[in-house]
Amino acid sequence: MEIFTTYFYQPFFNILVGLYWLVGQILPSPDMGIAVILFAVSVRLILLPVDLAGDRSAEDKYEIAKKIKQLKKDLASDPIRLKAETRRVMRTRPGAIISEIINVVIQVMVILMLYRIFTTGLEGADLHLLYDFMPKIQTPIDLMFLGIYDLSHTNNTLNILQSLMIATNEAMHLYFSPVKPDKKDFVSLVIIFPIFCFVIFMFLPAGKKVYIITSIAFTMVVRLVRQLLYLYYSLSKKTAPSTTTETPSEAELPLSSLPTPTPPEKTI
């Protein structure tokens, strides 16, 4: 626990408090909700190289889409095998699995960190963890967001917004997926999963919900940018002229263009 506090919790706790102080220098009064939004963007930017390392490039996605298109033609009469082969093609990059594991571990640590921050940390229990070089802030810290939402307590409005964002993000993920989702995937990811999240996060402080909403919005923007890059690459690949001219094989040439065989000379 001491390792978690010293090497993970304390640095991010100081970053959040520093952003809170910075917001107070820009706005008439500091707002912890805006600080949380900036904090979420900062964390996602830190994790962006990990996400990009496991994500497929535009070229990879283009090649995978071509393979899946061919599989749909070859295995049109065998949907079970088609689904299995499609999943095999989608898992051709082990780096995606490794980055996903790293991302999940970090996100779990962030959840634990934010829970501690908004239940006891910002209320005074962890202010002794602020570094000596940090600017002085007025205590107790105001935990109101826009003067409406108390970030240290749960809030159903933010919880509903969070579930709607999760549903939208999952729908976008299924829409852009090279594999056409079935009804079961749509129901489980776009309907059941957001409801499950609503129940789970119902008892967590609103500060965590602000973080998740911002993080999902960041993910959606990144996904749109990736999709635009993929579309650009696909169009440029289709319109690019071929640089090499292939010579047709003898079997492909018309009969009229083949040389007429010369009969062998008669020997006396």
Is residue 46 assigned to a domain? yes
Burial 15-41 (b: 16+ CB within 10 A, else e): bbbbbbbebbeeeeebbbbbbbbbbbe
Highest mean pLDDT among 49-53, 99-103, 226-230: 226-230
Cβ atoms of 141 and 122 within 8 Å: the answer is yes
Q: Which of 66, 172, 43 is nearest to 113 (CA)?
A: 43
Is residue 167 assigned to a domain? yes
Cβ atoms of 32 and 20 within 8 Å: the answer is yes
Q: Which of 263, 152, 257 is nearest to 210 (CA)?
A: 152
Cβ atoms of 169 and 219 within 8 Å: the answer is yes
pLDDT tens-digit readout, 235-263: 777 676 655 444 444 444 444 444 444 55
pLDDT tens-digit readout, 24-66: 899 888 889 999 999 999 888 887 876 666 555 445 555 666 7
Is residue 266 assigned to a domain? no
The residue segments making up the domain with residue 127 are 2-56+93-236
Q: 259-267 long-range CB contacts below 8 Å, 24 or more apart?
A: none
Separation of alpha carbons 124 and 108, rounded Å? 24
* pLDDT for the residue numbered 246: 47
Q: Tell me which of 259 and 146 has the higher pLDDT.
A: 146
Half-sphere exposure for 262 (CA within 13 Å, toward CB): 3
pTM above 0.75, yes or no: no
Domain count, the chain: 1
Q: Which residue has the tokens 């889409």?
A: 65
Is residue 79 assigned to a domain? no
Is residue 130 assigned to a domain? yes
Is residue 261 assigned to a domain? no
Lowest pLDDT segment from 79-83, 124-128, 222-226: 79-83
Is residue 61 assigned to a domain? no
State the amino acid at position 46 in one-letter form.
Answer: I
Is residue 171 assigned to a domain? yes
CA angle 160, 42, 167 (to 5 degrees): 25
Q: Which residue has the tokens 């007025």?
A: 138
